[in-house]
Structures are given as C-alpha cells and as structure tokens.
Amino acid sequence: MRVREVHGFDLTPVEARRLQEELAGRVEEGPPLEIGEVRHVAGADVSTGRGMAYATVAVLDFPGLSVVEVRGFEAPLRFPYVPGLLAFREVPAVIGALREVETPVDALICDAQGRAHPRRMGLACHVGLFVDVPTVGCAKSRLVGDFREPGEEKGSVSDLLHGGEVVGRVVRTRDGVSPVFVSVGNRMDLGSAVELVLACCTRYRLPEPVRQAHNAANRLRREGQMGLL
C-alpha cells in the first residue's frame, strides 16, 4: 500500500498537539463509502512491550470476512502514552505495516478514535492522512464526548456529542455487549463508518478485521512472528 510521508515523528508532546490542530483541517469527512463496492476491509492494531511497538494489519475479504493477508512491523517506542496523543506513539509502526500490504484495500478500521478526539484528530484520522484508503475509528472506550446508553440489541446506536457537534456514534455491535465508539477517520462519512463496523461484527463485539489484527499483534510480540497464510 502506498504510504505518504506527511511529517516526521521526532516531536515533543507540545509540538505534537500543535501539529494535530494543523492536520485536523486536512481530514475529509466523506464521501459516503459505497459499501456494495467494498471487496477488502483491513484492520490495524498495535501491541506494546519491552519498549517496542508491534503493529499489524489484517486484510479480510468482504462481506465474507475471511483473512487474505496479514502483515506486521515492529518499531521502538519513542513517544509516551499521553491521552489525546496516541497517534504519535503508534502511527510510526502502523504505517510500517501498511507499507507492506499488497492486497488492494477499500477501507481500514483502526482500533482507536477518529474524529471523536479533543482536536478532531484521533489516530484513525492521522493514519488516514498517510494513505489513500478511507479510514474508520472503532474504539473500545470513550476518549471525549457525552452520550446516552444505546439500546441493548445489536444495531442500537446513539450520538457521541462533544463541543456542540456529533463527533461519533456509540454502537451496540452484539446483543448485550458493551458498545464500541465509532467515528470517521478520513475520506469517509459517519453513517458509512457505522454501517461498515456493523457489517464486520458477525460473531464478536469488535469488527473481525480488528480482532484478527489484534490477535496477530499479540502473537508477533510473544513469538516474534504471526503465522503464515
């Protein structure tokens, strides 16, 4: 996959925060994703340990959701975990893995926030500026915003509000499970993002591409490899 060199990552937290304010203006909300045209969906995740970041990207066919490619990339952690600045800690490793993906991907789901971020620049938006693929943020917990608990049935949703705007949606992906937080990454629309995430949650709470990437990242960290295809 083609990856652009938007900027370097040798920054301090103060510089990183200022860069986010500038980059947020480059994020594109829309157009709607033609989900009927989607052939492949990828998921990205990062596992950390012993000063290293182990990033993986799993590519699945759609709507079948079987794994067709898995790539991994490890890089030293050069930035601390600071709420709101996660991208500066994990993106270097993520783009390393994305660079090695050979399958044409139509959409990428990141295990993090997109526009549901204090400066509308979550990791999913950040990754979306480095690639041409539309990105979606699907996090397991909230970073910012207020919301009402969605209904208990799969498919129930509620708006995630912050600073007077709808920055994302709280989505129940399976009956009875805790909801996930979906928001636009880049080149995508919120409705499409929710639709895609729901279409990827056939058996588990998290979208299958993200689950596969998560498992591969843990294997990469523990065993130094992910298993072939």
Partner DNA sequence: GCGACAG
Partner DNA sequence: ATCTTGTCGC
Kindly list the residues in this chain that would bind DNA in the complex (CB under 7 A).
Answer: 45-49, 81, 83-87, 111-113, 117, 122-124, 137, 139-143, 218, 221
**Contacting residues for 190 by C-beta, under 8 A, at least 6 apart:** 29, 166, 168, 169, 182, 183, 184
Of the two residues 28 and 61, which places its CB atom closer to DNA in the complex? 28
Task: Say how many Å lie between the first and final Cα of the chain, rounded.
Answer: 19
Residue 168, phi then psi, degrees to nearest 5: 180, -170
175 annotated as belonging to a binding site for a ligand: no
Of the two residues 81 and 104, which places its CB atom closer to DNA in the complex? 81
146 annotated as belonging to a binding site for a ligand: no
d(CA 72, CA 55): 6
Q: What 3 state SS string does 109-162 have?
A: EECCCCCCCCCCCCHHHHHHHHCCCCEEEEECCCCCCECCCCCCCCCCEEEEEE
d(CA 103, CA 17): 33
Sheet strands (E) in the chain: 40-49, 52-61, 67-76, 107-110, 135-139, 157-162, 165-171, 180-186
- Minimum CB separation of residue 104 from DNA in Å reads 26
- Minimum CB separation of residue 173 from DNA in Å reads 13
Of the two residues 24 and 68, which places its CB atom closer to DNA in the complex? 24
- Minimum CB separation of residue 151 from DNA in Å reads 18
Both tokens of residue 50? Answer: 């012993």
Residue from 72, 38, 42 nearest 59 by CA:
42
Of the two residues 62 and 181, which places its CB atom closer to DNA in the complex? 181
Beta strand 52-61 with 165-171: parallel, antiparallel or unpaired?
Answer: unpaired
Of the two residues 75 and 85, which places its CB atom closer to DNA in the complex? 85
Of the two residues 36 and 80, which places its CB atom closer to DNA in the complex? 80
- Minimum CB separation of residue 124 from DNA in Å reads 7
- Minimum CB separation of residue 84 from DNA in Å reads 5
- Minimum CB separation of residue 90 from DNA in Å reads 7
Known binding residues for Mg(2+) are 45, 111
Known binding residues are 45, 111
